[in-house]
Amino acid sequence: MAVHGKGSRVPTHRDSSTSFQSASLVPRQRHMHEIERPTYIKDAPPRVFDTHVHYPWRERGSTLPIYTADSMLDMLAYNCQRLNIFRVCLLGRPGEGNDLVEKGHKRYPNLVVPFAMIDVDQTEPAQITELADRGFRGLKIINPRRNYDNTGYFPLYAEAEKRGMVILFHTGIVGGMIDYLQFPPASFEQAAELSRDMESGRRYPPESEADSWYGAARMQPIYLDGISVAFPELKIIGAHLGYGLYDSAAAVARWRRNVYFDISGGTVVRRHLLERRMLRSEVSTRKLVWGSDCDMAHMSRELTTWMQAFDELGLSSEEQDQIFWGTAAHIFGIED
């Protein structure tokens, strides 16, 4: 049961096509002693579509993947079977990372929905065409040098719309190496040392490039509004519900039929949805999708915590299913 095209059928545990068999489903993992084995959730949602899985994961402060590509994918498939996750949007990185996602889709075609990460400032429309021809269902975009709705990017969006691709835009602040809300103040210098490698590539630009530089201001959810109007058949997902810009994200999702948001981002996003009671009052469950955006050892925890949050908000089983599965299934043309 492939995920390409519309009309794909919803999987069930009785459907043999949901067996994500490849060379092996036995987890083979580098540094296995350092990583918690995923735990089974007895009362997991009946079906889950994870729209935000980075691949391959890397160990912080290291250029080496925690997993080799194949062993990570085997562990992911093994984990997904235990958590009732039937689809994952696998997000690559430009170049070799996207090649690995393509191979991952071939290895697990019933599980992986392949996304290519692109640098919008270095990409031509013909490259979008090539990615679509290779089977990529979507694009991941982050860190543009201009605002997302800059018309210079429109030829890329037009080609994605033409080819029926989904675009996942990062929205809001980009997380760093250190969370200063939680890091002990006595360790600020240690935190600075950990952060400098990432910061070194983002120093203040030369004067010739001062009007086109990175920053969260380029990635505000309000920019998805203009894109959605210009490309009404392009399906758009904003990551992290705007992370810090929740009101704008909710407003765009409310009034633009082709804009959705994922709720990945951990405790901060969850707290705003809970404490502000944004679900139902400001944003519909039909405009939200679930994404883990975490390492494999914490996927079950993310799923459990969101289930508890939805129960606390009083969401019905139908509303929870909408977020965990239904909205993403609609976006990718999977029929009930």
Q: What CATH number corresponds to the domain at position 113?
A: 3.20.20.140
pLDDT, tens digit, 9 for 90 and up, residues 97-136: 999 999 999 999 999 999 999 999 999 999 999 999 999 9
DSSP β-bridge partners for residue 283: 279
Q: What is the pLDDT of residue 19?
A: 52
Inside any domain, residue 58: yes
Structure tokens at 140: 């991941």
What's the structural domain count of the chain?
Answer: 1
Inside any domain, residue 1: no
pTM for this predicted structure: 0.85
Inside any domain, residue 2: no
Residue 219 and residue 146: Cα distance in Å, rounded? Answer: 9
Per the CB < 8 A criterion, the answer to whether 141 and 120 are in contact is yes
Q: Look at residues 336, 147, 161, 133 and name the one whose alpha carbon lies nearest to residue 235.
A: 161
Inside any domain, residue 227: yes
Inside any domain, residue 208: no
* DSSP assignment letter at 298: G
* Cis ω before 45 (30° cut-off from 0): no
The percent of residues in the chain predicted with pLDDT above 70, rounded, is 78
Domain extent, residue 304, equals 8-29+45-175+213-335
Inside any domain, residue 245: yes
Q: What is the pLDDT of residue 69?
A: 78
pLDDT, tens digit, 9 for 90 and up, residues 224-246: 999 999 999 999 999 999 999 99
Inside any domain, residue 63: yes
Inside any domain, residue 36: no
Question: Between the CA of residue 207 and those of 80, 211, 212, 213, 219, what are the distances in Å?
Answer: 48, 8, 10, 11, 22
Sequential pLDDT tens for the chain (336 residues): 333 444 455 555 434 344 554 433 433 333 333 344 555 667 789 999 999 999 986 544 444 454 577 888 999 999 999 999 999 999 999 989 999 999 999 999 999 999 999 999 999 999 999 999 999 999 999 999 999 999 999 999 999 999 999 999 999 999 877 777 777 656 777 777 777 766 665 555 555 555 667 889 999 999 999 999 999 999 999 999 999 999 999 999 999 999 999 999 888 899 999 899 998 899 999 999 999 999 888 899 999 999 999 999 999 999 999 999 999 999 999 976
